Structure 1
Amino acid sequence: MLTGLYFIRTRLIFGIILITFAFVDERQCLFINNSSNFFSLAQKYGYKPVKYEVTTDDGYMLSLFRIPGNGTPILFLHGLEDSSDSWILRGKGSLGIKLTSKGYDCWFANFRGNRYSRKHVTINPDQERFWDFSFEEFGIYDIPALIDTILNSTHASKVNVIAHSQGTTSMFVLLSSREEYNDKVNLVINLAPMCFMENIPPPVLSMAQYTNEINDIFKNFSVNEVLGFYSAESKALRSLCALPLFGYRLCLIGILSTIGGNDAAEIESDFFRYHINNHFPAGTSTKSFAHYGQILQHKSFQRYDYGDLENMNKYASSKPPEYDLGKIRTKTALLVAQNDNFSRISDVERLKKQLVNMVNYTILPRKQMNHYDFLWGANTKDYLDPTVFEVLRQFG
C-alpha cells in the first residue's frame, strides 16, 4: 500500500514539475537541447558517423553507429537508461573519441527501447508487448544481431567489446547462453561489471526489496517504460536538472551520486547541465529494472522470475535457472571502481572466480571513482585510459 502511494505521489510530483516549468523563464533553459544526438556530437568533434539499422531475430530494429577505422572492430555497449551518446559525450575526453582518434574501427550500439531503437517490424512502443524485455533479450537477440552486422560489413573474423554496466550483464548472458558467440568475440573489456549484486548498499538495496510490489504497481498503471527520452516525465526532469545550482545539486549530487557513488569533482556543474542532461536518461523497460531487482533479492545471476507457475511453463522449473558463467570462453577483463555503489568489488570478486579466461582484473586507482566516471569523468586519462589501452594492446 505504501509503495502504491509512493508511486502515485511520484507521478503527481512529475506533473507538478511539468506545470511549473511551463512558466519558467525560457532563458534559463536555453541549453536544454532535445535534438542533440549521436550524429551532432560526432560531427561537432570532427567525425562523420555511419548509421546501420539492425533487425534482430525477434523483430526489433536497432540503431548502430560507426566511426570507421582500422583493425579489429570495437563494439561499445551502453548501460541502463543510457545510449551510444555517452561514449562520445566528452569529445576528446571520451573513451570512444580517444579510440577513434587512435584509428580503431568503433561501433556504438543502442539496445532496444532507448531513444534510437524504438522500432519493431510489427509492433510499436505504444503496445505493452513491445516492452517485454530485460537485459536477457539484449544478450540473446540484440548483441548477436549487432555482432553479425559488424562482421558481415567488415569481413573481420572477430570483434572486441567494451561494455559498461548493463552492457556487461548482457554480454555475460550472451556468452553463457549462445556459446557459439565465444568464437566471434575476441575480448570483452567490462567497465563496472554488473552480475552479482549481493553487496549493493542503500538506497538501491532498499528499493530492490520491494521489486515485486513495485513491478505490480507498474503493471496496474500500464507503465511499461521508465523515463523514456521523449516522455513528459523526462522532459520535466531535464527542465529541473537544467536549473542553475539547484538542478546540479539535486539531480547529480542528490540523486545520481547517492545511488551510484559520490565523485562530484569529476562531473562539473556545466558539463552535467549542458551535456549529460541533454542525453540521459534515454529510456528502457520496467522489466529491465525488475530483473536487476530480482538478482539482488535472490543473490543469484539468474533468468527472469515470472513466478512459480509461469516459470514451470517457460523453464520446466519453479525457479528460474542461473546463467552458467563457466561456459564463457572469451578473453575477459574486469575493471572496477572503488567507490561504485552498483558494481561492488566484493561482488566482482565472486564473478571473477567463475570466469575461466580472465586476462585482466584491475581495481582502478582513483579512490573516489564511481559508476558514472567510466563514461563521464573529467580525468579518465589519469585513472582509466591507461588500463584500457594496455588491455587492448596486449589482447585486442
Structure 2
Amino acid sequence: MVIKTITSLIFLLLFIALAAGARTKLKWSLEASDYADGICKLMVETQGYSCEEHKVTTKDGYILSIQRIPTGRSGGKTKGAKPPVLLQHGLMSNAITWLSNSPDESLGFILADNGFDVWLANVRGTNYSSGHTSLSPDDPEYWNWSWDERVAYDLPALFQYVYDQTGEKLHYVGHSLGTLMAFGAFSRKEVLNMVRSAALLSPIAYMGQMPSPLARAAADAFIAEDLYWLGLKEFAPGGGAASKLVDEVCSKIDCTNLESVITGPNCCMNSSKANLDHQQPTATKNMIHLAQMIRQGTIAMFDYGNEDDNNKHYGQPNPPEYNMTSIPNDLPLFLSYGGKDLLSDVKDVQTLIDTLSDHDPDKLVLLYRDDYAHLDFVYGVNAKQVVYNPLMAFFHLN
C-alpha cells in the first residue's frame, strides 16, 4: 500500500509537471482572490498591452474564458493584416503559461509585438473557465470528461469564436496536452476548415515509450480509477487528499528536484524569476485517460474498462482510436521537440513522425533542440531565438 501511494504521488507530480505552470518550486493552491481579476488585468495590461476578455460557450454547456491581445506595444502601428493565432496551454495549467516571462521572452507578447492577433484559450475545468450553463463545479457531473471532450467541444468552440470574430483562418500553437488536443481534432476532421497552420511544442501523441521507469510504474499503479468510481470526480492539486499527501511528502523530499526528474533537465529557464504557479484542477477521468495512454501506448478515446460500457458509449467493444494518418497531408505543421524531454520523449515523437511519413514535406517542419526539456519550450529565456523566431517564420509562410 505504501509503494502504491508513493507511485501514485509520482504520477500526480508527473502530470502537474506536464502542465506548463510548473516552475522552480511547487505550490499546491491559490486563494480565490487570485482569480478575482481576469488574466487581462492580472498579466497583460500591467505590461502595457491592450487586452480583451471574452467568453465562449461549448455545445455541452461549458463556459470558457479567452483573452485577446489585439495589438503589440506599438499599438496599431504594425502594417498589414493581423493574422489570428490561438494559443492552447497544457494539462492543469491556463493561459498564463504564455505570459509568465518578460514580454521579450513570453510567446503571447512576442506574437502580439510581431503583428499577430493573439487569442489565449483556457479550457474547461480551469479556474478562469469554471462556468457552465446548468452545472456547478460542486456537481460530480461537471467533471465527467477527459481530453476527448476538449477535442470534441472545447477546441471547436474556441476556433469558431475566433473565426467569427476575425473572419480569418487561425494559426494554432499548442504545448504538451494542447498538442494532443490538436492531433485529436485534426485526425477527426474537427476545425480543419478554420485552421491555417499549427505549431506544436513538446508534442504529446504517443506516450508508450516514456523513458522514466518511475512514471511507467506510477501509471500502472495509479489509484485514480478507484477514486473515480468512488465518486471523486475532480482532481485538484490544491485540495483534499492530494494536497495533504503532497505536503507530507514534500516536507521530507526536495520537490524542486522532482521537476527535472519528471520533465527532464530544463536547460534554459530563468530560476531568478518570481515563481508563478497556476496549477489548475482537472477531471479525474482525464487523468485516468492519460494513464491509459501510457499503459497501452495507443491514442484512443477513453476506455470504460469493459465491453458493455464501451458498447454503450461507442457502439463497439473497444474505444475508437485517433488515427494520426488521417490528418490531411497538406496541413502545415511545425513540430518542435527536445532531446532532454522525458514527457514528450524523442522515441514517442519519432513514432508520431513515422505516422506522418506521407505528409507533404513542404508542409512539415521539424525543429529539434538537443538541450531542451519539456518546460524550456514555454519558459526558456532563449526560446524566442531558438524556437519562436522559426515558428513565426513558419506562420508567415502559411
TM range (shorter): 0.7 to 0.9
* 1:363 matches 2:352: no
Question: For 1:16-42, what per-residue CA distance to the aligned partner results, in whole angstroms no more than 9, with x for missing partners?
Answer: xxxxxxxxxxxxx9xx88627622111
State the Cα distance separating 1:321 from its structure 2 match: 1.6
State the Cα distance separating 1:232 from its structure 2 match: 6.4
Equivalence for 2:182: 171
Equivalence for 2:117: 105
State the Cα distance separating 1:150 from its structure 2 match: 0.5
How do 1:300-315 residues align onto structure 2 when only pairs under 5 Å count? 300-307=298-305, 308-315=307-314
Change in Cα spacing, 1:220 to 1:144, as seen in structure 2 (3 Å) is: closer
Please point out which of 181, 193, 198 is paired with 2:203.
Answer: 193
Question: For 1:43-101, what per-residue CA distance to the aligned partner results, in whole angstroms no more than 9, with x for missing partners?
Answer: 12111211111000000000011001452200000000110001011132111111111
Following the alignment from structure 2 to structure 1, what is the Cα–Cα distance between the partners of residues 343 and 193?
30
Following the alignment from structure 2 to structure 1, what is the Cα–Cα distance between the partners of residues 352 and 346?
10
State the Cα distance separating 1:239 from its structure 2 match: 9.4
Change in Cα spacing, 1:51 to 1:3, as seen in structure 2 (3 Å) is: farther
Is the Cα contact below 8 Å between 1:257 and 1:264 reproduced in 2? no
Following the alignment from structure 2 to structure 1, what is the Cα–Cα distance between the partners of residues 366 and 7?
40
SS of the residue 1:41 aligns to: helix
Is the Cα contact below 8 Å between 1:4 and 1:217 reproduced in 2? no
Please point out which of 259, 262, 275 is paired with 1:259.
Answer: 262
Equivalence for 1:338: 339
Identical counterparts, % of pairs? 27
Following the alignment from structure 2 to structure 1, what is the Cα–Cα distance between the partners of residues 8 and 101?
37
RMSD over aligned Cα atoms: 2.9
* AA matched with 1:386: N
Equivalence for 1:128: 140
Change in Cα spacing, 1:352 to 1:5, as seen in structure 2 (3 Å) is: closer
How do 1:1-396 residues align onto structure 2 when only pairs under 5 Å count? 1-2=1-2, 35=34, 38-39=39-40, 40-69=42-71, 70-92=81-103, 93-156=105-168, 158-177=169-188, 179=189, 181-202=191-212, 203-211=214-222, 214-219=223-228, 222-227=231-236, 231=239, 250-253=254-257, 255-263=258-266, 266-268=269-271, 270-271=272-273, 274-277=274-277, 279=278, 281-307=279-305, 308-329=307-328, 330-355=331-356, 356-357=359-360, 358-365=363-370, 367=371, 369-395=372-398
Unaligned runs of 5+ in 2: 11-26, 72-80
> Alignment length, in residue pairs?
358
Unaligned runs of 5+ in 1: 11-28
* AA matched with 1:166: L
Equivalence for 2:23: none
State the Cα distance separating 1:393 from its structure 2 match: 2.4
Question: For 1:286-340, what per-residue CA distance to the aligned partner results, in whole angstroms no more than 9, with x for missing partners?
Answer: 1221111111111111111001221121222222121122221222111101111
Following the alignment from structure 1 to structure 2, what is the Cα–Cα distance between the partners of residues 120 and 160?
27
Is the Cα contact below 8 Å between 1:182 and 1:328 reproduced in 2? no
Is the Cα contact below 8 Å between 1:160 and 1:188 reproduced in 2? yes
Q: TM-score, normalised by structure 1?
A: 0.82
* AA matched with 2:236: L
Is the Cα contact below 8 Å between 1:114 and 1:228 reproduced in 2? no
Q: TM-score, normalised by structure 2?
A: 0.82
State the Cα distance separating 1:3 from its structure 2 match: 6.6
State the Cα distance separating 1:264 from its structure 2 match: 6.0
